[in-house]
Structure 1
Amino acid sequence: MLRIDSLRKAPNAELQLPGSKSITNRALIIASLAEGTTSLSRALFAEDTLAMIDCLKSFGISIEANQPMETIDVTGTNGKLDAPQDSLWVRQSGTTARFILPISALITAPIQVDGDAQIRSRPQEDLLRALNQLGVEVAYSGEPSHLPLTLNGSNLKVKDIKISGDTSSQYLSALLLVSPCLPQKITFTLEGNAVSLPYIDMTIEMMRSFGAIVEIDEPNTFTVHPTGYTGRDYEIETDASTASYFFAAAAVSQGRVVIDGIGENSIQGDIGFINILEQMGAKVTIGADSIEVSGQNQLKGIEVSMRELSDTAPTLAAIAPYCSGTVRVTDIGFIKNKESDRVSAVVTEMKKLGIDARAEEDGFVIEPGMPIGNVIHSYDDHRIAMAFTVLGLLAEGVVIDDANCVAKTCPEFYEHIDTLRLEGDEELAILAIDGPAGSGKSSLAKLLAQELQLEYLDTGAMYRSVAAEVIAANIDPEAYREVTQITDNIDISFNGQEVFVNAKNLTKQIRSPEVNSIVSYVAANPGVRAILRRAQRSWARQRGGGVLEGRDIGSVVFPKAKLKVYVTATPEERAHRRSLESGRDMKEILNEIQERDEIDSSRTDSPLSVSSNAIVVDTTDKTLSEVANEVLRNFNV
């Protein structure tokens, strides 16, 4: 469960959002089939792209991914792939499932493809029918036209293909992507009332940039020549679908948001969402490599077809209650077969918030109204979770039941959402105290909280609580996913000096030598830090401020705190203090402190450092009272 803290002030933010999922996954397919090496920059690292990378590696493709640098180097195979030894697991990624299936046409051996329950429920009939026309044999292990299934391209026969476009544009994109590696040219005719055509344009644009020849003979007829691909360096745009939530938040709150890495030459169809916002009254400024959206007045209602940018339909729904008139979205009946039935999901959850909403045959209608608080079911659908997060920025008491499903396309979504709250954080009475172990920050923070009549939060106890649960579950403290999952499910509360974890009093256990030995590894986990940072920020916002102590409070958690203090002391003095507290050998403690300092200062996520504008206080030769008085003088200025 994640409570969405509402905005205290309109946002004024410039954001660097992740790269596009659609572009990253297309680039991975093309690079894998290309001749030579491709270097992708600003690549997205999320569940959907990691699923694609894992599947492509199963074909013998060399892929070197550097997540901190957002780069991926792919050594292409020139269309000559190895048969996977094991079943391909696409997780919940519809893009991966659809883009991987046509690769079977290049391999003369059986390929098994499977995925999570959600992706198993989504039919792939039109794509599989087209592959059958090419001679690819398909055998189902369960329901026809659904995963799991086995494909065999040993009887490949290249011929012109007709494929329906009224369910998904990804079917044609998937076939187009593999076509330059077929032995002869092939023509595809898109039939029906095609949806999401800009995604097909994106596919063709990217294919051409890697050397493919694609002719568009008529509006819906595409001929691809057997040219293969040539590897190259390729920079990926910011994800336009993800950007839509932040543009919407700015427009509806009468704030301002600038997003870099996407601009006037974007190849993403979802960039069209800003045109809708402009029609509703927002101000939009498009540059070469950035887009700015600002809200001027209350947004107007609108009736709009979102057939070409359906992924942003839930985003528009999220701001619809705050508009001056009715919002009607049409031509999106096909989104009932996405990760969830998005039409039903939007309407159902709006009604839970007291909003008049109704489904129509090909869309939905939402009337103006002020949402009430309630728990939003995400349906394990990242678009629903993200959209209702935006709604919650202007309402009280909105809670998302499974917020982590955003990891499918934007794992750091809530970190970016917190950036929108920074202007409001300046109004909070926050005293941020950071420093290394044994520097005296806990004693200082407790005294200052008492003097200032503010509540106190020991963020270190939160990391220790997670470490205690990791030990209880007998899990490797460096196991990223498992430890992150524990953190997401943990309930930490405080009663005075006592710490309760899942209703159990663990005050003593979290200070044990066993916890001491692993807490640095737990605290270095980016997933753990992201979840606990959200909890720490929410704790302070609900109270209007507080005294928070830890290792990244001023630098990361509350960079706009009223006062930031960095408390330090010599390692020997810190070890001496800990020895007096515990009765343990000072040399042993000194070794632990030095090891902890090294881990804390060198971790990639939120390393221990002196925050900008922080006052530095060396407590080595000072009494607690002297240090407290110095801090109070600065806080009360």
Structure 2
Amino acid sequence: MNIKLSSRSNNLSGNLKITGSKSESNRLLILQALYPELKIENLSDSDDTRYLKAALESEEETIDIHHAGTAMRFLTAYFSCQVGREVVLTGSKRMQERPIKLLVDALRSLGAEIAYVKEEGYPPLRIKGKEIRESEVHVQANISSQYISALMLIAPGLASGLEIHLKGQITSAPYLLMTLEIMHNAGLAGTLEDNVVSIEPVSKLAPTTLQVESDWSSASYFYSLAAVSETAELKLSNYRRSSLQGDSCLAEIYRKFGVETIFEDNSISLKKTSGKKPRKLIEDLRNSPDIAQTIAVTCLALGVECELNGLHTLKIKETDRLVALKTEMEKFGADVEISNDSLRLYSCKRLNQDVSVATYNDHRMAMAFAPLALKVSLGIEDAGVVSKSYPSFWEDLKQLGLSVEEI
């Protein structure tokens, strides 16, 4: 499905309920599989979460998680310790191009039995579940946080728990802290001190119900819309001031664009309070790389120069997001430079009209470029890709008065 986006008004108002956090939901689903006494409310309705849930409920030998990267990492660890279970874990063509060697190496060092079905270092994987008795593993700290979280989540179910020694500077630390906090809320014990994650073994939990907070990454697109608008009053439900999600840094970043965040009971209100904007925005997004695309497009829409750093993990996402951003922003007339871990956008004074944005099987490419509709009409190719994390996104934009026309 390709769509055309435009807007008759730059004044936005509305109340929206955002789906539960994919990051929180997927962590809780792994814990629930290990401890069925755990109950979950406000589970994400994203494709990634649905694929993970279906995989955990499946009794098939071959399990296809399509584009769901989190599911691939978490399930690799989970099936490794399911004694007597043998599975082939596979995914889409792009998933089979995304590296998983560092996680497999870590699990093998613990005694897991994992073989590559095709190319060394990449899915599909053949996993023979067995009891893991080793209790210590060493991994680089600058790898994807999902590798480390995958090890953390299975750790309490191992005979002796697990110590994960992290070498170097930690990437996406808030996601590790999120994993720890979710585990604590479920009744599990663990710490992160001096680059060592320690998780205690637990055989059974007390019955517990946990509610998933709405997704801050999904909220980012409404922060962007508010920043690009003339006026905006948007209420987004099921958010907490003390969020576990690293992307909650949005509130502070978008204050620089005149967007204030008002925390209320179980919700946030975004209000465009002024037309201010930075002359140049410089941000280190090492701890929140998923909002890089949103911020870059906000700057493009407002003619703001930006320098975004700490983006090395973007190259192994659904697509190489740095290359994709450069390619698509240049269609609008932007001047963009990228490196292995950074993006620099020079201010673009005039945007080209009716550009067709390619999305590269990447949900965030589709949603990040949508706020440009407040400035120019544009097309979004393969718009249905948003179902990966936010299936109702285009309907929610219609609620705010944007024109979403299928072409």
- Per the TM superposition, whether the score is higher than 0.5 is yes
**Residue 5 of structure 1: SS of its match in structure 2?**
strand
Query: Could you say which residue in structure 2 is the equivalent of 1:26?
Result: 27
Report deviation, 1:228. 3.7
Runs of 4+ residues over 4 Å off in structure 1: none
Report deviation, 1:240. 0.5
Query: Could you say which residue in structure 1 is the equivalent of 2:202?
Result: 227
Given residue 295 of structure 2, which amino acid in structure 1 is its aligned partner?
L
Q: How does 1:173-252 map to 2 (within 5 A)?
A: 173-216=149-192, 218-230=193-205, 231-252=207-228
Matched, 1:161 2:142: no
Q: Residues 259 and 113 (structure 1 numbering): CA distance in 2 closer, same or farther, change over 3 Å?
A: same
Query: Could you say which residue in structure 2 is the equivalent of 1:283?
Result: 260
Contact 1:210-1:229 within 8 A present in 2 as well: no
Given residue 421 of structure 1, which amino acid in structure 2 is its aligned partner?
G
Query: Could you say which residue in structure 1 is the equivalent of 2:105?
Result: 129
**Superimposed CA distance per residue, residues 543-576 of structure 1 (whole angstroms, 9 cap, x where no aligned partner):** xxxxxxxxxxxxxxxxxxxxxxxxxxxxxxxxxx
Rounded Cα–Cα distance in structure 2 between residues aligned with 1:159 and 1:344: 40
Report deviation, 1:264. 0.5
**Superimposed CA distance per residue, residues 28-49 of structure 1 (whole angstroms, 9 cap, x where no aligned partner):** 111111152x332221112101
Query: Could you say which residue in structure 2 is the equivalent of 1:4?
Result: 5
Rounded Cα–Cα distance in structure 2 between residues aligned with 1:47 and 1:134: 31
Query: Could you say which residue in structure 2 is the equivalent of 1:381?
Result: 362
Contact 1:357-1:367 within 8 A present in 2 as well: yes
Given residue 320 of structure 1, which amino acid in structure 2 is its aligned partner?
C
Contact 2:16-2:236 within 8 A present in 1 as well: yes
Query: Could you say which residue in structure 1 is the equivalent of 2:242?
Result: 265
Contact 1:112-1:151 within 8 A present in 2 as well: yes
**Residue 11 of structure 1: SS of its match in structure 2?**
strand
Contact 1:35-1:229 within 8 A present in 2 as well: no
Instruction: Select the residue among 416, 424, 443 that pairs with 2:396.
Output: 416
Rounded Cα–Cα distance in structure 2 between residues aligned with 1:228 and 1:413: 40
Query: Could you say which residue in structure 2 is the equivalent of 1:338?
Result: 317
**Superimposed CA distance per residue, residues 73-120 of structure 1 (whole angstroms, 9 cap, x where no aligned partner):** xxxxxxxxxxx4421111110011111111212323432111111111
Instruction: Select the residue among 62, 65, 72 that pairs with 1:87.
Output: 62
Contact 1:298-1:323 within 8 A present in 2 as well: no
Report deviation, 1:352. 0.8
Rounded Cα–Cα distance in structure 1 between residues aligned with 2:204 and 2:339: 44
**Residue 241 of structure 1: SS of its match in structure 2?**
helix
Report deviation, 1:265. 1.8
**Residue 133 of structure 1: SS of its match in structure 2?**
helix
Given residue 140 of structure 2, which amino acid in structure 1 is its aligned partner?
S
Report deviation, 1:410. 0.7
Contact 2:82-2:131 within 8 A present in 1 as well: no
Q: 5+ unaligned residues in a row in structure 2: which ranges?
A: none
Q: How does 1:621-632 map to 2 (within 5 A)?
A: none
**Superimposed CA distance per residue, residues 551-610 of structure 1 (whole angstroms, 9 cap, x where no aligned partner):** xxxxxxxxxxxxxxxxxxxxxxxxxxxxxxxxxxxxxxxxxxxxxxxxxxxxxxxxxxxx
**Superimposed CA distance per residue, residues 290-337 of structure 1 (whole angstroms, 9 cap, x where no aligned partner):** 222222104223111011110000000111123353111011122111
Instruction: Select the residue among 298, 323, 336 that pairs with 1:319.
Output: 298
**Residue 128 of structure 1: SS of its match in structure 2?**
helix
Q: Residues 273 and 235 (structure 1 numbering): CA distance in 2 closer, same or farther, change over 3 Å?
A: same
Given residue 234 of structure 1, which amino acid in structure 2 is its aligned partner?
L
Instruction: Select the residue among 373, 392, 404 that pairs with 2:384.
Output: 404
Aligned residues: 399
Report deviation, 1:155. 6.2
**C-alpha root-mean-square deviation of aligned residues, in Å?**
1.8
Q: Residues 107 and 377 (structure 1 numbering): CA distance in 2 closer, same or farther, change over 3 Å?
A: same
Instruction: Select the residue among 326, 329, 352 that pairs with 2:308.
Output: 329
Higher helix share: 1
Asked which structure has the greater CA Rg, the reply is: 1
**Superimposed CA distance per residue, residues 455-512 of structure 1 (whole angstroms, 9 cap, x where no aligned partner):** xxxxxxxxxxxxxxxxxxxxxxxxxxxxxxxxxxxxxxxxxxxxxxxxxxxxxxxxxx
Rounded Cα–Cα distance in structure 1 between residues aligned with 2:243 and 2:161: 29
Rounded Cα–Cα distance in structure 1 between residues aligned with 2:88 and 2:304: 50
Report deviation, 1:280. 3.5
Rounded Cα–Cα distance in structure 1 between residues aligned with 2:265 and 2:307: 32
**Residue 139 of structure 2: SS of its match in structure 1?**
strand
Report deviation, 1:273. 1.5
Query: Could you say which residue in structure 2 is the equivalent of 1:564?
Result: none
Q: Tell me: higher relative CO, structure 1 or 2? Use CA pairs within 8 A at least 6 residues apart.
A: 2
Given residue 291 of structure 1, which amino acid in structure 2 is its aligned partner?
I
Q: 5+ unaligned residues in a row in structure 1: which ranges?
A: 59-83, 426-533, 540-637
**Superimposed CA distance per residue, residues 143-184 of structure 1 (whole angstroms, 9 cap, x where no aligned partner):** 111111112233633131111232310011011111111111
Given residue 346 of structure 1, which amino acid in structure 2 is its aligned partner?
L
Q: Residues 242 and 206 (structure 1 numbering): CA distance in 2 closer, same or farther, change over 3 Å?
A: same
**Superimposed CA distance per residue, residues 57-85 of structure 1 (whole angstroms, 9 cap, x where no aligned partner):** 02xxxxxxxxxxxxxxxxxxxxxxxxx44
Report deviation, 1:7. 4.5
